[in-house]
Structure 1
Amino acid sequence: MENWFTASPDSLFVIIISAIGVYLAVIFLTQLAGKRSFTKMSSFDFAMTISIGAMIATTVLSPSVSFLQGVTGLTAIFLLEIFSNFLRKRFKIYRKTVDNQPMYLMKDSKVLWENMQSARITEGDLRAVLRRNNVHNISQVKAVIFENTGDISVIRDLNSKEVPDDWIFEDVK
């Protein structure tokens, strides 16, 4: 416990240099892999974000992991992301395996209780989302969709003459 507030100048210098190096490596690798590397679109993306954070912390703070080892690990994770994106674009079965599928929580003002239960969304959660989206009456709701990111989208039906494009709902279950 007495070592909590002590550090040698050399160890602090190594931490600062490692932090700068890892920071630059992450910027470079993100440019190489694309901004999608840090989105929350799929479980693979989520795992990648967590892995990168853990590797950065370990590389910067752990004396047992060298800078070269840390950057190699980060590079491997980013290469996995690039390869996964390649597979997602080419193979529908892979995309379905790693991507979360959006689902209706409400459709045409009707609450879909089975989907609510599957998504682990409570009735109170749904009401809060509707209030945040300025829904005054349940009849205003065309659809509420639990997105693959974990966000909830509300499509309002304020003008029943205007029909939303089917393309918007194409991958929603």
Structure 2
Amino acid sequence: MFTGSLFGLVRILIVGPLAYLSLIAVLRVSGKRTLAKMNAFDFVVTVALGSTLATVLLSKDVPLDEGVLAFVILAALQFVIAWIAQRVSPVEAAIKSSPRTLLCDGQFDEAALLDERVTRDEVAAAVRKSGGGDLGRIAAVVLETDGSISVIATSAAGDRSAFPR
């Protein structure tokens, strides 16, 4: 109950580094997108990769080659779906959210705050973090597709047609 068999421990010592190195190799081949700031789709793939790694390490029923194949399949599926999403707008809309303006010209968009479940305090914190203080001097605060918050100062606003609605 508290200790595993010697075989199980040796298996983990051998399979662990091999599975880890295999995962690193798959991630390097799959490109930066897999490791970029994540939207929900990317997050699911990352969690699935972690779960697969844990299963390969801890389950005697899953051999290393099957685990590596699972890594490759997950990375390939992510690549294919991202490639299709770049070319087919409905697919992109299905897997990615759109950016949303939370504050424009110092005025909060209350509907956007409610829809996106963001508080005024979180917007104010993002403004402070960006070096701003007065919300009246902020052209826009945008909730990006990856969940980060961008702050656009009035002097840097330029063309406002780029602000999402």
Gaps of 5+ in 1: none
2:34 corresponds to which of 37, 40, 61 = 37
| Worse-superposed segment, 8-17 or 111-120 | 8-17
Q: Which residue pairs with 1:145 in the alignment?
A: 142
Q: Which residue pairs with 1:104 in the alignment?
A: 101
Q: Which 4+ runs in 1 deviate beyond 3 A?
A: none
CA–CA separation in structure 2 for the residues paired with 1:106 and 1:163: 13
CA–CA separation in structure 2 for the residues paired with 1:68 and 1:24: 13
**Cα RMSD, aligned residues only:** 1.8
3-state SS of paired residue (1:10): helix
What is the TM-score with the length of structure 2 in the denominator?
0.90
2:113 corresponds to which of 108, 113, 116 = 116
Q: Which residue pairs with 2:46 in the alignment?
A: 49
Q: Which has the higher helix share?
A: 2
- Return closer, same or farther for 1:116/1:68 CA change in 2, 3 Å cut-off: same
Q: In the comparison of the two structures, how many residue pairs are matched?
A: 165
2:158 corresponds to which of 136, 157, 164 = 164
1:15 corresponds to which of 6, 9, 12 = 12
CA contact (8 A) 2:124 2:135 kept: no
Amino acid in structure 2 at the alignment position of 1:88 = A
Gaps of 5+ in 2: none
Deviation at 1:166, TM superposition (A): 5.0
CA contact (8 A) 1:40 1:46 kept: no
CA contact (8 A) 1:52 1:77 kept: yes
Percent identity over the alignment? Answer: 26
Question: Could you report, residue by residue, the CA deviation over 1:59-100 in whole angstroms, capped at 9, with x for unpaired residues?
Answer: 111112221221121111111011112102211111111111
- Return closer, same or farther for 1:165/1:9 CA change in 2, 3 Å cut-off: farther
